[in-house]
Structure 1
Amino acid sequence: MTGVRACGWGELDDRAARRVIVGGRPVALVRLGNRVHAIDDTCSHAEVSLAEGEVDAEECTLECWKHGSLFDLETGEALTLPALKPVAVHSVVVNGDDVLVELVPELGQ
């Protein structure tokens, strides 16, 4: 995988989301234990930052703070209303202290 450095491992709190910009695109990074998930950081319903929402480590979801839509961190699927459309999921590799993200094309393009 050829990814772009998004942040350092030490910058990510466990069970929390962090907004980063990768290649000009907002991405929400979520650390769950020794794993990091990366999804587009814009709610598909309200167009607000998902990184400001609540992480559910057991369900592997991120909740939009504005209206409560849940997004699956592994698939990007919108699990609850009012969001209907998924968000993109990106590949992540941790190399030492570097968290590398490989972006996928934006959904719908």
Structure 2
Amino acid sequence: MSSELGGWWIHRVAPFRTPGDPVVLFRRLREVVASMPRTHIVTATDDYLRAVCRTRLGFRDDLEFRWCPLEGVAHVTSASRVGIFDFGVNRRRVERVRRGLEAINSGEH
């Protein structure tokens, strides 16, 4: 799954938008991603986050967020390291992060 141009349309997902400061967005992204089971954050800065997620079967997937100042969005990529079919795991992961951010933004966490 990726929010950036290129690749197959079926693997597209919407980028993460913020009406405010991207530093706040990435702080919140870090909070949501750190709370996910079997997930290890590898790199986290004010405009970039990279994590490795293990599936229930033990496969490793990469999860990455990159701030794009020209577009005012954080692009996301979530991809399996092995194979081309992931049974929707990566799309569900991205949407789980999106729901987690919505919960934080609404004060529900």
Instruction: Give the alignment's TM-score, normalised by structure 2.
Output: 0.34
Q: Which has the higher helix share?
A: 2
Instruction: Give the alignment's TM-score, normalised by structure 1.
Output: 0.34
Q: Which has the higher strand share?
A: 1
